[in-house]
Structure 1
Amino acid sequence: MKMKQVLLGLGVLSALLSAAVGGTGWWGLNTLGRDMDESVMATHATQTATMGDMMHDALRGDVFQALMYVQMGDAAGMAQAQKDAKTHGDNFVARVHELQGMPLAADLKQKVDALAPVIERYAAAGQALTEQALHDGQGAQAQLPAFLALFKQLETEQDVVIEGIEAAAKATRAEAQQARTQSLLILAIVMVLGGALLLIAIGTVTRHIMQTLGAEPDTVRKLLRRVKDGELGVDVRVEPRDNSSVMASLAEMVQQLRATVLNVRDNADSVANASSEVSAGSSDLSNRTQDQAAALERSASALEQLSSTVSHNADNAAQATQLAQGASDVAAHGGEMVDRLVGTMQDIHQSSQKIAEIISVIDGIAFQTNILALNAAVEAARAGEQGRGFAVVAGEVRSLAQRSAGAAREIKSLISSSVERATVGAQQADQTGATMKNIVEAIARVTDVIAEISSASKEQTTGIAQVTEAVVQMDQGTQSNAALVEQTAAAAESLRNQADHLARAVAAFQLDTNR
């Protein structure tokens, strides 16, 4: 199997294991979210049923209050009692209708549906009794036992429904906890199995790579470096029965190179003899090339200067590019800081709106709380023993007061958050200003570098002129050297024969000309 396929397979396995872990986590979160939704619904149903129970007691208190005001002859009190009975009765009926609309269990929904008509009769009876008390106090007093009997019946049936709702809520929470535990367990199993499988795959791939190389990668790299440096006497150690690894192929290559170099060395003497003949003819050529050498020296000097100038220009261009990139990065960073600043200001604005809404709610609740607290204190004092039902109203008042306190705490938290975000916005504005300053400085540096590039270009012009003059002199010397080419031809023929022999010896090396 090819190394590329092995590594690709390892990558695919890692991706599949990651997908398995992610899919398991997604399934667990989805299950947990569904159970949490059911738990929230069950909690809301419990709260709704409890609120209905409070309206149940409050309506009875309104009836007692109306009858008390009849005996006291307080017309305003009787009107208020009638109004409260209307409010509490309608609220009681609304709560049971809200329960009917919730996705409860079949048996529990059946109980709620059976309880709804009883609540409607109870609410209607309480409202009718308070209204009758305004005109016929004795008749209303005579209807009180029947009303209380209906109250008792409703209390029993309502307790059954509330207990059923609370039991369903408890069961829902237990199922959610069990689903969470199962999800974590499955995720842990998948991660452990996946990790073990990945370790096995890594071990297999590592063993395959070692078998392919035949040695540690560092050992192979050092050996190749020594062969590159010409150390053909190196000892290549290969494991027994290893004839297919990179190390085994390298050992064979070193042996062939050693034999080839020995053959080339034997033929080097013949090449040296032929080279002496070429040396005699080249003596005269050397004299004539002195002038050419001088010209070349001047050319080299000019080229060196030109090379330095070009190099300097290249460095400046690279520096200009880096500075431009830096300026671009700084500008981008400044844009990001401005965007963050705008987002922070928007958050502060939204928080301010929330604060205004919450303050409005608290004002309304506080106002109602003060009125209800005052009425509760006065009426409880007047009712005496008969005001026991009215204590429920007082409890509702205290509940409203507690909600007001909670809203006040939320206001304090939002105000603190707004102050912190304002501080962050100021800091980000300072950072934006500093970033813009960096942009200006970077642009100034780019301008200086461009000026240096322009000056270097002028120096290049002068250097090129000098090179042109030197090339002319070299051409003149080349014409004089043409006569010497014939004298070196005979010696070159002998040298060519020896070169052919060397070429056949070196032909043992097979080079890939396509690369």
Structure 2
Amino acid sequence: SVEGSTGLIASLFNGIKVTQSTMSEVMALIDSSNTKLEYSSQELSNASKKLSESSNLQAVSLEETAAAIEEIASTIKQSSANAQKMTTHAQSVTKANEVGKNLAHQTVKSMDELSNEVNSILEAITVIDQIAFQTNILSLNAAVEAATAGEAGKGFAVVAAEVRNLATRSADAAKEIKAIVESATQKANMSKEVTDKMLQGYNALDDNINQTIGLIEEVANATKEQQNAIVQINDTVNSLDKATQENASLASNISVMAQNTQELVEQLKNAVSNTTYNELSKKRICDPALIFTANKLKSDHIVFKDNNFNNCGIGKNFTVKTHNECDLGKWINAHKNEKFAQTQAWNELLKVHEDVHAKVQKTVDLYAVGASNEEIFTYTKDVEQSATKVFALLDKLREINCENKS
């Protein structure tokens, strides 16, 4: 700026300074954002590489898992088929066991019938033995009578002897038959005992078969549940595999985006390196919206001063906007509870801003009463100085705001 300038010339220089400040802060914001973007793009690139690598590893693991699940599913399916065969075999064994039990029952029944028949034979043999005994006695009596008869009884004696021989042979045969029958009876009883034990064995076998069938059914049900679970797991693994492939594709796309971003960062870096800006601007760019708000308020104050000065003239009495009515005043009232409003710089801004409005009003009044140019110039110079202080304090408050946020 030109030292001591006022009016339109001062406004021109102040406008240029506001524009330069805005451009400098925008360039600082671009530079700062570009640095962050460079770091973020590098992080994004690294992350995409890691995601791609982990996705590939996960894809391999999922393929191995899918193969293992397929093998398990095949084994479970075979186990289910074997369980079904075992059930069929067990049912066949049950039927064979029932047939065996029925045959054993029939054997016991036959043995009982045989025992009854043998008892009948024994009774008949007893009768035969008794008859032979009595026949033998009668033959002896006949022989005695024949001997008593002498010659007349010789023939009868021969017959009596033959009868006695037959009786003896009959008694001997009866004894042999009785011995055979008793042996057969003993063996029949032993067979019956064996058959009874067979029945007990069949009954025990029947219980074991039923328990085995129950276990086989449990195994079959468990195998079926495992089959269903394996199907669900297989579906889940397929879904994960699909998601992994999508992640791998996404990682590839992100990698391309990161590379493009890095190229853009490099272009911006080259553009910024070919320009210059005030390094102090970096201290007040944490709030991008406030960059344009603050510089607009500065421009509005220049326009406020110019409009009022342009309307000045002898006899022209009017009242300018107060420090609460202008846009800066409204902004001050809206932000009075902010942390940066609790500082010395804020208090100075309130005082200097109010002073600007008071001095503009004083300048208008001096023009109206036809005061000398020297007196008017004194106040217009004070207005320019106060306005410059307002602009500097706005920058200071933005620096304080950024310090509070860091």
TM-score tier by shorter-chain length is 0.3 to 0.5
Bigger relative contact order, structure 1 or 2, given CA contacts below 8 A and separation 6+?
Answer: 2
Relative to the length of structure 2, the TM-score reads 0.41
Give 1 or 2 for the bigger CA radius of gyration: 2
